[in-house]
Chains A and B, each alone.
Chain A
Amino acid sequence: MQKRIVLDLDLCCGCRSCEAACRSAFKGEARIRHGDITGVAYLPLACKHCKQPLCLASCPVEAITQDESTGLVVRSANICIGCKSCAYACPFGVIDAPLVRHISQKCSLCADRKEGPRCVAACSSGALQWLSDDEIKRHEIGMRMVSQDLFIRRKA
């Protein structure tokens, strides 16, 4: 992968700008999801574009393919039959099972936009970043804690 989406959870303010940007661009499809750790934090869930993608392996019609040069895992809207196999296969739960337009909602890292994914561009607090492997090494992702409670951001 040339660049990837990196999350600094300490900065996430839970506004879901990332999902809104995605839905606005893709006709209501939320290709990025969020996990809600109730009372603790929101966790934006973007596709990892795995080296050995289970969504690709599970697709019965080969609608999901992987670009050999970039590693990007993409879904063809014309081939997808909306069987949800990919949604159930994904170990990270980033593909939403309730379908919009009867096809699976698969992140393409906004391949149509040369500046990178819209979710990263929109992120209001700077929690989502679009970084290369070298840039990732220079960052101390996950090392800071914003609140004084070490493990629980949102006190119930």
Chain B
Amino acid sequence: MKNIDPKAVVVKRALCPFCSFGCEFGVIFNDFGVAGVEYIKDGSSGGRLCPRGSAAAMYLDHPRRLSTPMKNSKAIEWSRMAKELRKVIGNPKNVAVTFDRNVTLEEYASIIGFCKKNGIDDISSTYFEPEAYLKPFLDKPFATKELDKAQLVLILGDPFNHAPMSSQSIIDWKLSNKKNNLLVIDSINTHTAGFADTFLRVAVGTEPLLLFGLAQEKIDGVDIAKATGIDAEVIADVSKAIKAAEGGLIFACLSFGHTYDARLLVEGLMRLRKFSGMRVVPFVEFTGYGGSRNFATILEKVKKKKIKNLINFGELFPFYYPQLNAELKGSNIYATSTFKYTGDIVLPVPFNLEKKGTVITTFGKKELNAGIEPPSGAKSISEILNMLDEGPGKGEVMIPPEGKMNITESARKLVQMSLPKKKGYRLIGEKIAYSFLGFFESEALKVNPRDAAELGLKENDLASVTSKHGSVDFPVRLTTDVDKGIVAVSAETPDVKGLFEYEINTDSNIVNFIPTEVKICRKE
């Protein structure tokens, strides 16, 4: 019989998969399994880890970790699963293959190769997180030493929560020279905004318009100052400072349901880059890949019953976007996941820490190779594809159709959408590093004290937030960080994401999750 020594531990070095910084840490194993994380001083981040990194080990042996295929919430054998999937793929015109997060470059190539070999034409990304739109700016790896040359840094969003490991280099840069100028654009007050020399607090969802204004571009029929709530003089002054600054950088990170038109925002960033010569650096958790179509085209085909089966590789879709279920009704969804979710068919796959392969980050390509074993019932995407076919064939990068964009029309529409409503509240998403998937703390609803008084809410009261897609209860946090009429919540879990409204851009067929009208009432 084996002697168990609780003090005997093995530490495996791993790359954190939760944001673009790819920090190194150790996963500690003892005879009882995963024992925690170790902070490795000689690692790329000097041992520092954000809350997501500290939770990485908890993820590996979480009670809800999926380790066997499930069909309608009942366990099913892989052999039966493979038989069913082979039958589905036998009619390729009736199948769409999609992918979201937790997919390596090699796996992406295998998926595309598999689709080509099997005659599946409808291929799309289901990575609806807004950071996917920032991909055009990931053409060149970023190095934090680029900050040394910058006199001005413009931050869009809240990187101290999106990628907390960015905080030290940005704060160090700020402290290194009194003349260094930090500008922050956001619709809510954040920790990042707290460090700013100038905080441009825009009306909810109007960030794209301000970017056009800072690039000194006019949009016919749109009063940028009025729509954004930022004085025209301030916009002009900041614009001048941006133009005059040398070696400046624009950091961009976007939260789910935070802005109305992510595509217009990317266009605004492009214009500002051209105007100022500043480099745009997106802090992204995952970049997302392209398919042959944008997802709305596939939705349309599902509605017309031209596609009956969707096979998704990744870990988000369809569980994190339940509001799409109504449109997907009548289709069979085969989805890979690392967690147990209720769905038609859920297939267990390894978590990124348990994979070998390459991922793209803000800092370029990074290799995953921690040598950590996945749960015995999980199969990698390549193994699943091999199970269905002798060999997946050669893959290639796909670029979905862009569609034309009418900037004036898009901007006017954005203005209309962002106008304050007489009744109800607008829910926006934010990212809170510590609210990571509810591992440490459940999401709280940020409410302006004036709204709270009207609603009869006090700190820590339970409030029920209802959108047309569902209802979720949150403890209330009173703060002036959000304006009157606006409520904010960390949008990380399927329940919370499921509250948000989505809009399909008719030109591009892109699915956009936007600030959402909600009703709030005190829960007794």
Contact = CB atoms under 8 A, between A and B. Distances in A.
B359 interface: no
B171 A146 contact: yes
Contacts of B47: 121-122
B55 A15 contact: no
A39 B481 CA distance: 6
Interface residues of B, number: 41
A114 to B, nearest CB: 12
Given A13-B171, A20-B50, A146 B39 contact: no
Contact of A24 (B37, B161, B174, B193): B37
Given A122-B39, A156-B480, A147 B194 contact: yes
B49 A147 contact: no
B434 A16 contact: yes
Interface in B1-48: 36-37, 39, 41, 47-48
A101 to B, nearest CB: 16
B476 to A, nearest CB: 13
Given A19-B434, A156-B189, A125 B39 contact: no
A140 to B, nearest CB: 12
Interface string B458-481: 000000000000000000001111
A154 B191 contact: yes
Interface in A24-65: 24-25, 30, 38-39, 41-42
Interface string A4-26: 00000011011111011101110
Counting chain A residues whose Cβ lies within 8 A of the other chain, the interface size class is 20 to 34
A66 interface: no
A18 to B, nearest CB: 9
A36 B492 CA distance: 22
A124 B167 contact: yes
Interface in A86-124: 115, 118, 121-124
Contacts of B164: 13, 15, 17, 124-125
A155 interface: yes
Interface string B180-197: 000000000101111111
A126 interface: yes
A16 B490 CA distance: 15
Given A147-B195, A153-B194, A15 B36 contact: no
B50 A15 contact: yes
Given A39-B481, A146-B171, A17 B196 contact: no
A17 B54 contact: yes
Contacts of A13: 160, 164, 167, 171, 191-192, 195
B37 A146 contact: no
A15 B51 contact: yes
A21 B480 CA distance: 29
Contacts of B242: none
A14 B197 contact: no
A148 B196 CA distance: 8
Nearest to A145: B175
B189 A20 contact: no
B235 to A, nearest CB: 19
B479 A155 contact: no
A119 B411 CA distance: 45
B168 interface: yes
A19 B440 contact: yes
A144 B194 CA distance: 15
B443 to A, nearest CB: 14
B200 to A, nearest CB: 12
Contact of A15 (B39, B191, B478): B191
B55 A24 contact: yes
Given A39-B480, A122-B48, A147-B196, A24 B191 contact: no
7 contacts: A13-B195, A16-B433, A20-B433, A124-B165, A125-B164, A126-B48, A147-B194
The 7 closest A-B pairs by CB, nearest first: A20-B51, A121-B39, A154-B194, A15-B164, A13-B167, A16-B434, A14-B191
Interface of B: 36-37, 39, 41, 47-55, 57-58, 160-161, 164-165, 167-168, 171, 174-175, 189, 191-197, 199, 433-434, 436, 440, 478-481
Interface of A: 10-11, 13-17, 19-21, 23-25, 30, 38-39, 41-42, 115, 118, 121-126, 144, 146-148, 153-156
Given A115-B41, A123-B48, A124-B164, 9 more contacts: A11-B168, A13-B192, A17-B48, A24-B58, A122-B54, A124-B168, A125-B168, A146-B171, A154-B189
